[in-house]
Amino acid sequence: MVQITVELLEFTYAISPYVNSVITSIYAKFYYLLNIFRSSIIQAPDWVSWLLVVGLVLAGLGLMWQGLARRSLLVKLDALDLDPDNPLHLSGRDKDLDALVAATVFRPLVFLEGEAGVGKTALIKSGLIPKLQQSVPDSGLIPLYINCYPEDWDQGLYQRLTLAIWYEITTLHLHKLQLQSFAELEAWLAERPEDQGILQHLQHALGQRLLIIFDQFEDYLTIQHQHFIIDGRWLTNKELISTNQFWREVNEELERKTIHCLFVTRRRWTMALDALRFRPPVLRTLSLVAADAIGDLLTKLTAPQTLDASKQQVIISHPNAGWIALRDLLIQDLTNQGRILPIHARVAFKGLTILSELSIGTYEVIGRLEGLEREYIHTSMAQAAKAARISIAQVRNILMTMVDETVPLMAKAKTASTGRISTLTKIDLKRVQRALLALTQSGLVRSGLLDPQTESQCSWTLHHDYLARLIITTHRYAARWQRFLQARSHTFYTV
């Protein structure tokens, strides 16, 4: 230790002349420039000196004002995350929920339709399912939720139904069936009597009717379009029953009145549902949410939260310094004929988290509603790039693998496995997984059902089709010069 200290002292003594000369040189140059500045000020007219003094005073006052002024700041960043699984975030849907609960309880077949982004999934996951689970003895329905669809025409839906049974029925029901693992559930279903289907076997064991919810059913119709379209027309109900065992079993259980079915689709897919008319259905249409309901929700989300009798958690500091005015302007921008599309509100609320302060001035500078959406996408990609240690361009490529541009001007989300995304983007599988997890946390991407055997995601897709348009716009803007050069090159070689 003494030897190291002596060597360190000798090294410091050896380099000290060089350090001293560098410091002396820097000081001499600074002093020389300072003298030039002083002489210039002395030779300048008096009004220049006064102007400089006034400028320095104004700059100081401006910095002091900026430091002391009250500003509306978002203290709790996750307070504005609208979660479709959270019943507290379901606003303005009381009548729709009551009507849907009544329809599913008293009628065996219900079709729920609405435009993309209107909040159908939120109504199901945070409204219908919790309400039915809380009142199973009264309603007599056990909900099974399916929203991830396979390519296998014959056995695919049976696999998804098994997963739904495992994840959706309560622990009490699993205890009643004496099942402790997913493997035991598969074995129990496989050992059913030959004259019983899966649905009948489960219903007999539980003693209650099942409500099978097929959410985002247009995904299934798209995947199986070669089976649903024959000679340019949609399949009829009789043809569907005769060609697919799963739907034949669904029809039989509907006849026995042991199950109910709810099909959730976009409005333009109504004609395709003719094949699923096992019974005369109840048609329910979900419209946009009233602007007042979204405004009340935003006010509730940003109000101080009571932690205990003496403490409150502030969500937005100094709300009167800019937030109140910005909130009213944002609701006004989101409103169309007195109503708001919920997905627009969700993306806009996420965009508020990237504002330096919650004021109309900051909102105007960023580009108002479109700017919020653009910055939200860019910030989410930057965070994913940092988490996975890849470039933002690579994150854009990952997102583009989940965008379907088959129909011009109607881009939508599509599903893709982790392996397929890695293959298409040529990015390491582990980095892709880290990027997808980061994008999931930011709300851009969602995953399908877990495989209980491997605990891996079955698929990934954009959180909503509305995001596909935003991602395409971001991708095209980032590659604008490349597309320009390609167009010019094509023109050069074709002229």
221, 228 contact by CB (below 8 A): yes
Count of all residues that appear for the chain in the document = 495
361-468-406 Cα angle (round to 5): 150
Spatial separation of the C-alpha atoms in residues 36 and 172, rounded to whole Å: 86
* 92-287 and 388-483 have identical folds: no
- How many CB atoms are closer than 10 A to CB 370? 14
Q: Which of 215, 337, 348 is nearest to 288 (CA)?
A: 337
Q: What CA–CA distance (Å, rounded) separates 360 from 123?
A: 32
Q: Residue 234 — pLDDT band, cuts 50, 70, 90?
A: confident
Euclidean distance between CA atoms 444 and 432, whole angstroms? 15
At residue 266, the pLDDT reads 85
Q: Can you give the pLDDT at residue 67?
A: 54
pLDDT surpasses 60 at 5: no
Identify whether the C-beta of residue 123 lies closer than 8 Å to the C-beta of residue 100.
yes
Three-state SS string across 245-297, please?
Answer: HHHHHHHHHHHHCCEEEEEEEEHHHHHHHHHHCCCCCEEEECCCEEHHHHHHH
| Class of domain 92-287 (CATH, top level) | alpha beta
> Mean pLDDT throughout 415-434?
88
Q: What is the mean pLDDT of residues 468-483?
A: 75
Residue 168 confidence class, pLDDT cut points 50, 70, 90: confident
Cα(389)–Cα(431) distance, integer angstroms: 7
Question: Band of the pLDDT at 190, cuts 50, 70, 90?
Answer: confident
- Is the pLDDT at 132 greater than 50? The verdict is yes
At residue 466, does pLDDT exceed 90? no
Cβ neighbours for 24, distance < 8 A, ≥ 6 positions apart: none
pLDDT of residue 453: 47
Between 329 and 133, the more confident residue is 329
Given pLDDT bands bounded at 50, 70 and 90, which one contains residue 139?
low
pLDDT value for 452: 46
Of residues 333, 335, 332, 348, the one with CA closest to residue 289: 335
Strand partners, 111: 263, 283
Confidence of residue 156 (pLDDT cuts 50, 70, 90): confident
Q: What is the pLDDT of residue 260?
A: 93
Task: State residue 85's pLDDT score.
Answer: 82
177 neighbors 187 (Cβ within 8 angstroms): no
Residue 484: per-residue pLDDT: 60
Instruction: Say whether pLDDT at 207 is over 60.
Output: yes
How is the chain split into domains, by residue range?
Answer: 92-287, 290-366, 388-483
Segment 428-458, tens digit of pLDDT? 888 998 999 998 888 888 876 555 444 455 6
The rounded percent of the chain whose pLDDT value lies above 70 is 83
Of the given ranges (69-83, 113-127, 362-376), which has the lowest mean pLDDT? 69-83
Tell me 114's DSSP state.
E
Provide the CATH number for the domain formed by 388-483 in this structure.
Answer: 1.10.10.10
Rounded CA separation 359/470 (Å): 24
| 34-71 confidence digits (pLDDT tens) | 677 667 666 666 666 667 778 878 877 776 665 556 78
The DSSP result for 413-468, as a single string, is: E--B-HHHHHHHHT--HHHHHHHHHHHHHHTSEEE--EETTTTEES-EEES-THHH
Q: What is the pLDDT of residue 224?
A: 85
- pLDDT exceeds 50 at position 355: yes
Helices (H), 197-256: 198-206, 217-223, 225-228, 237-243, 245-256
pLDDT of residue 389: 92
pLDDT digits (tens, 9 = 90+) for 213-228: 999 888 888 888 888 8
Q: Which residues have CB under 8 Å from 92's CB, separation 6+? A: 289, 290, 292, 293, 294, 296, 297
Q: What are phi and psi of 459, to 5 degrees?
A: -165, 165
Per-residue pLDDT band for 283 (boundaries 50, 70, 90) equals very high
The per-residue pLDDT for 332 is 92
Residue in 371, 368, 388, 363 with CA at minimum distance from that of residue 445: 388
Which has the higher per-residue pLDDT, 386 or 28?
386
Tell which wins on pLDDT, 250 or 2: 250
CB 174 within 8 A of CB 182: no
Higher pLDDT, 89 or 15: 89
At 293-323, the pLDDT tens digits run 999 999 998 888 877 766 778 888 888 888 9
What residue type is 394 in one-letter code?
Q
